[in-house]
Structure 1
């Protein structure tokens, strides 16, 4: 293969490296925030991977498989390990921390489903693994900064287990979610995408890392509204 064809794969390998280092830091040093930072850095490499492939007009089967393997480690296993470590640090129950490992299991199902689902060319079916990882990565910052009504109402270990379960189910659900790709820039055709982008920027400015769960929930809700406004053309064509 030429160097040009391997540039996207280089970014994918950097994504994988971030996930691997993050797992080591969380397990050895209980350094949850560094693990979260590495998820964010890997997200940048994941974007650059796709951007480079489109810009250079290179595409390969090995690149597709490598991307899924990297995402499984960084956006599947690492978030699961973060939840495991968080529950373990606050719970006397020796089994409860393992509930966080539902995240890598469902992430694997999500990625396998994505690779064979022809409906997911211009939309997502189920919550993408990077979006779920972004939400999980914010939890160490939110929980360490201050108590919220959620942590006051529900014991933290069980709250983390419930979050793991709910968002794992969302990853393999049949909910159609917007892909932030623009065929054109007309307001009518992209109304929900523009609303989502502007709303996300606003809450990120106001709440910074604490806004990540709000951004993901907003993404799901606006996608559902968008589904009513723009019925699924894929099902009509089949």
Structure 2
């Protein structure tokens, strides 16, 4: 039973992602974000639990990718669809009217929000590569799907908790959202080495970079709140470039 604890933690990630999916489809992006954050929390600890309990397995690796596909792949894609719809119509998606043009401000944009699902496709490809890429055993090549999910979900959180008219005019620009979609798809599969945030041990010396990154991230979140998330990801890239991945 103890050997199954890591898989149970991973399954909780999957459960949170599945619940988040329902809320994302219904247009409740804040509740969806909460469950995605919770799922990423479980994802952070399942690998550590597997190492501590010496319960690493091929099944656990595959289950982890499947859970990430839902929590950090499907849900962010749906959220981007909702954001693109919101940027065009000023309202969240009504699933029953999604294919109707009568309530759209411009019918030629009817299918444009589905462009956001490219995030889901890019996430699937990234996770498939990760499982067979022996270079990514201790670090990452390309943006991890949970980090990308945080980037996408930071947008509705900024709009909800740090709303200003100027902020909304920027982040709800349709072309900007399309640009974010393209950039996130590229970063997920780019040949860019990035350090892993998953701890093998809690020792300070072996995790100096991770503790430093987490400390700066907490400071940024305290100061900028959800606006800090894109800043933290930029800092993550810069730190990875100048501090060799391990």
Shorter-chain TM-score range:
0.7 to 0.9
Stretch moving more, 148-157 or 175-184: 148-157
Corresponding position of 2:217: 200
* Secondary structure in 2 matching 1:119: helix
Corresponding position of 2:93: none
Stretch moving more, 49-58 or 190-199: 190-199
**Aligned with residue 115 of structure 2, among 73, 76, 99:** 99
Q: How many residues align?
A: 224
* Preserved CA contact (<8 Å) 1:151 1:159: no
CA distance in 1, matches of 2:209, 2:41: 24
1:20 aligns with 2:18: yes
1:42 aligns with 2:58: no
- Structure 2 stretches of 5 or more lacking a match? 89-105
- Structure 1 stretches of 5 or more lacking a match? 234-238
CA distance in 2, matches of 1:156, 1:134: 19
Corresponding position of 1:135: 151
Q: 1:61-119 CA distances to partner (integer Å, 9 max, x unpaired)?
A: 11111111110011000011011011112214212211110111010111111111111
TM-score (norm 2): 0.83
Stretch moving more, 174-183 or 208-217: 174-183
CA distance in 1, matches of 2:41, 2:171: 34
* Preserved CA contact (<8 Å) 1:196 1:219: yes
Deviation at 1:194, TM superposition (A): 4.7
Question: What is the RMSD computed on CA atoms of the aligned residues?
Answer: 2.3
* Preserved CA contact (<8 Å) 2:86 2:172: no
Corresponding position of 1:211: 228
